[in-house]
Amino acid sequence: MRVCKKCGERKSINEFVKSKRGLYGRRYTCNKCRNKRAMDLYYKDHDRRLKEAKIYRERNKDKINERERKCKKQYRDKNREKLKQYFREYRTKNRERINKCKIEWLNKNPEARIRRRLYQLAYNNKPHVKERNKEYRKNHKEMEILSKKKYVNNNREKVRICGNKYMKRQIDEISDRYIKKLINQVYNLSKNDITQDLIESWRQTLINKRLIKSKRNEKISTS
């Protein structure tokens, strides 16, 4: 224990900084008092110091930036694994908040959304990424099915509208798929029994039917 010369309190010897000059190799004033004195000195001339610091920064901007850049890079290189781990944990802990921020930002910056989408498409089109995605899907089939189910469950209305749009396009184009569906409904034929010839003949019939219908509608509207 030692009594501080400044505040007069009795404190543990650890509260006094090591020094060759003091008694038993420690200073006479406690750390708290020393810190306070340093702060007082600093704030006594605070405005002048701030101004000086600002001028110094302005004059040595390039040097400071370069030094900071180097310092940061060095730190990153040294702590690569640690930082990776840290950010991974941070992302998992704050996933919801991060996603919310991201969505808000993208809503405010529509052109960024497009830019991001283009970047994603270009990235996914790279040969090695394509290969990797394919491999991943192959190894995670059941996960894909699950995620699809989850998506459909969470977006029922969207999926319904999308499905309707898709079906409408199929009908408009009289696609093979649509004809197959019709044949299956009427004759209950299996997929393999429906030949391309059969599809073509149905298509012709459907086209004729539509023609007749549109002619009839024209007559009704003009009469």
The residue among 6 and 203 lying less far from Zn ion, judged by its C-beta, is 6
One residue of 6, 36, 180, 203 binding Zn ion per CB under 5 A? 6
The residue among 37 and 210 lying less far from Zn ion, judged by its C-beta, is 37
The residue among 6 and 181 lying less far from Zn ion, judged by its C-beta, is 6
Q: How far is CA 55 from CA 15, 60, 67, 107, 126, in A?
A: 37, 9, 17, 41, 49
Max Cα-Cα span within the chain:
118
Are the CB atoms for 7 and 17 separated by under 8 Å? no
String marking each residue 27-56 x if it binds Zn ion according to CB under 5 A: ---x--x-----------------------
Structure tokens at 39: 């702060």
CB closest to Zn ion, residue no: 4
How far apart CA 13 and CA 24 sit, in angstroms, is 10
Partners of residue 2 on adjacent β-strands? 11
4 in contact with Zn ion (CB under 5 A): yes
7 in contact with Zn ion (CB under 5 A): yes
Least distance in angstroms from the C-beta of 13 to Zn ion: 13
- At 21, give phi and psi (nearest 5°): -80, -30
String marking each residue 55-94 x if it binds Zn ion according to CB under 5 A: ----------------------------------------
The residue among 8 and 127 lying less far from Zn ion, judged by its C-beta, is 8
Phi-psi region of 188 (alpha: psi -120 to 50; beta: other; left: phi over 0): left
Give 179's Cβ-side CA count (13 Å radius).
Answer: 18
The residue among 35 and 204 lying less far from Zn ion, judged by its C-beta, is 35
Looking at residue 60, what DSSP letter applies? T
The residue among 33 and 199 lying less far from Zn ion, judged by its C-beta, is 33
With contacts defined by CB under 5 A, how many residues of the chain interact with Zn ion?
5
Catalog residues that contact Zn ion under the rule CB under 5 A: 4, 6-7, 30, 33
